A = this chain, B = another copy of it.
Amino acid sequence: MQVMPEKGAAGGGLREQKKRATRAALAEAAVRLAAEHGVENVTVEAISAAAGVSVRTFFNYFDARDDAFVVIDTDISARVRSTVLHAPAEVPPLDAVRDAIAAELAEAEQQHELWQLHAEVLRAAPHLLVRSLGAHLADETGLAVAIARRLRGGPADVPGTTATDEDARRSLDLYPRLLAAVAGTAVRVAVEHWSADPAERQFADVFQETFASLAAGLPAPPG
C-alpha cells in the first residue's frame, strides 16, 4: 500500500510551494558553485545571483552562507515524519516508513547528479560534513520520535505529543531508534547500489528490493 505524502505537512499552498522552490534553487546553486570553485570561493552574492534572487532573499532562507551547503532539502524530513505519524493504523511501522520515504525519493533519478555533487562538496569541506552528519542524526532522531508516537497510538491521542523533542528523545525505546536508523541506512545503500549502474535498473526497483529484504529479515537471497 502506498501512502501519499501529506503535502500539507510542510505547507501545500501556492505561497509555500514558491518558498520551497526558491529554497531548493538556492541550495542547488550553492552546491553547483561549490563543486566548481570550492566552498571557500563561493559568496552569498554569487549563490543569490545564480538562483535569480537578491542577497536579502538569501538571508530569508539561510542564516549564513555555510547553511546553504549543509542540507539540500530540509522539508523532506518534516514531510516523512508527518506521513509516518498519519499513516493508517493498520500499516506496519516499517511499511509506513518505506512509503513515506518512497514518496520523497520519487525524483531520485533526476536529483541523482545533484546529490553526488553535494556529497563531493561535503567530502572536500570537513566542517560542513560534520554539520551535515549532525543534521542527518537529528533527522534520524526526529523520525524515531515520530515512530514512537505512532506506536503509542497516533498523533491525536498521545500524551507525549506536546512533550518537547528533548523529552521525546530521552524516552526513546530501542525499536523506534532501530527502525529509523536502519531505514536511513537502507536508503543510503539503495542510492549507492543504484548509482553504481543507473542505467541497469530503475531506482524505485532497487529501493523496493532493499525494503523487502528488511521486511523478510535479511535472508540470504536465493542462490
List residues of A whose CB falls within 8 A of some B CB: 92-94, 123, 126-127, 129-130, 133, 151, 170, 172-175, 177-179, 181-182, 184-186, 188-190, 192-193, 196, 206, 209-210, 213-221, 223
Kindly identify which residue among B126, B185, B190, B221 contacts A173, using a CB–CB cutoff of 8 Å. Answer: B221
A177 and B193 contacting across the interface, CB-CB below 8 Å: yes
Closest Cβ of chain B to A122, distance in Å, is 9
User: In the complex, which residues of chain B have a beta carbon less than 8 angstroms from the beta carbon of A206?
Assistant: 174
Chain B residues contacting A214 (CB-CB under 8 Å) are: 178, 182, 214, 217-218
Can you list 23 pairs linking A and B with CB atoms under 8 Å apart? A92-B219, A93-B220, A123-B130, A126-B126, A133-B133, A151-B221, A172-B193, A174-B190, A174-B206, A177-B189, A177-B192, A178-B189, A178-B193, A178-B210, A178-B214, A178-B218, A179-B218, A181-B186, A182-B189, A182-B214, A182-B218, A185-B185, A217-B217
Other-chain contact of A188, B175, B181, B193 (Cβ < 8 Å) = B181
Report which of B123, B217, B220 forms a contact with A151, defined as CB distance below 8 A.
Answer: B220
The 5 closest A-B pairs by CB, nearest first: A126-B126, A185-B185, A217-B217, A126-B130, A94-B218
Residue of B130, B133, B213 near A175 (CB, 8 A) is B213
Given contacts A93-B218, A130-B129, A217-B94, contact A174 B151 (CB under 8 A): no
The answer for the CA separation of A172 and B223 in the assembled complex, in Å, is 15
Knowing A130-B123, A186-B178, say if A216 contacts B217 (CB, 8 Å). Answer: yes
A94-B217, A151-B220, A175-B213 given. 7 additional CB < 8 A pairs? A126-B127, A126-B130, A173-B221, A175-B218, A178-B186, A178-B189, A214-B218
A177: chain B residues at CB < 8 Å are 189, 192-193
Instruction: Determine if A178 and B213 form an interchain contact, defined as CB atoms under 8 angstroms apart.
Output: yes
